[in-house]
Structure formats: C-alpha cells, structure tokens
Amino acid sequence: MRCFTSNKIVILALNFLAMTEKTIHEGRNIKRIREMLGIKQDALATDLGLSQQAISALEQKEALDKDMLEKIAAVLKVPVEAIKNFDEMAAINIISNTFNNNSHDSSSFYSSAINYQPNFNPIEKIVQLYDEKIALYERMLKDKDGMIEELKRLVKK
C-alpha cells in the first residue's frame, strides 16, 4: 500500500479525468483544489503577491487569464490542465479508493495511509541519527571540559 501526499492525490485525480461538455469554472476549481490541499486564501495570496480579497474575487471568476492561471498552478503545485479539467466527484472517488477503509474504525483508515515503502533507506537514517548523537555527546563533553577548566581557574584565584 502506498501513501500519497495530498498534492499527489489531487494530481492523480485530475490526470484521470476526461474532458466533458460542461462549462469549466476555473475559479471554483482553484478554490476546490486549494481547499483539498489545505491551503488558505491568505497563504495563496501571499505566495502570489495579492490580497486575500483578490483571491476571493479570482475564485468567483469563470475564466482566468493564462498568466494568472499558470502562476496559481505553480503555487498550488498542480498542472494548469488539472485546474481546467477538475471534476470534484472523480477526485472524491479516487481519494476514497486510495485508502482501503473497509470498516468504520478510524484506526484502520489511518493504518491504510501508512507508507510501508519509505522513500529513504531506514538503515542510513539510523546511521545518520547515531552520528548526530555522537557529535552531540562530543560537543557536550567539550563544553563540560571547558566548564571544569573555568571552575579550576576561578578556584585558584
């Protein structure tokens, strides 16, 4: 079972979608993607150099100019096509199928999200932590020796 970050889930959902005949509301799609990613309007506004009110106004527009759409897509880390082709129901289906939650017990939901295939080598991580621990002990010993020398010097006075 692989664990996907929210960005990967959104991208998977959006790449899966086929174009439909319905009207595309880019502003509403931006809002939905932003909310799925847990990004607030203030944070998006800051990243784009806009006000929160400007983001709110953008999310009300049916169509956005190409440059603004590209900037928003870059900040949200999703393709422009993802914003244009977003389908909420397809995204919900993909997200619900990503996690194997066959019971109503919340612990099984979280356990299905555990990444059993980490993208780092656990042995290397243990060695790294061990090296950091040794370096910390050496610094502490050096500080202790410095304090002892300082105390000896003060006692001699």
Residues 105-140: tens digit of each pLDDT: 555 445 555 555 667 777 888 999 999 999 999 999
- Residues 6 or more apart in contact with residue 55 via CB below 8 angstroms: 41, 44, 45, 48
Report yes or no on 22 lying in a domain: yes
Contacts for 36 with CB less than 8 Å, ≥ 6 apart: 6, 9, 10, 91
| pLDDT band, very low/low/confident/very high, at 149 (cuts 50, 70, 90) | very high
CA dihedral 27, 66, 74, 28 (to 10 degrees): 10
- Residue predicted with more confidence, 20 or 9: 9
- Rounded to two decimals, what is the model's pTM? 0.48
- The predicted-structure confidence for 34-79, as pLDDT tens digits, reads as follows 888 888 999 999 999 999 999 999 999 988 889 999 999 899 888 8
More confident residue, 84 or 150: 150
Confidence (pLDDT) at 112: 52
Closest CA to 56 of 83, 77, 31: 31
Domain that holds residue 46: 6-112
In a domain, 108, yes or no: yes
Pair 86, 155 in one domain: no
95 or 156, higher pLDDT: 156
Residues 70, 89, single domain; the answer is yes
Q: Is residue 32, in this structure, part of any structural domain at all?
A: yes
Q: How far is the C-alpha of 97 from the C-alpha of 85, rounded, in Å?
A: 20
CATH number for the domain including 10?
1.10.260.40
CA distance 66 to 110: 39
With H, G, I as helix, E, B as strand and everything else as coil, classify residue 21.
coil
Question: Which band of pLDDT confidence, cut at 50, 70 and 90, is reported for residue 87?
Answer: confident
Contacts of 115 (CB under 8 A, 6+ apart): 2, 3
Distance separating alpha carbons of residues 60 and 150, to the nearest angstrom: 68
Position 150 scores a pLDDT of: 93
Residue 1 domain-assigned (yes or no): no
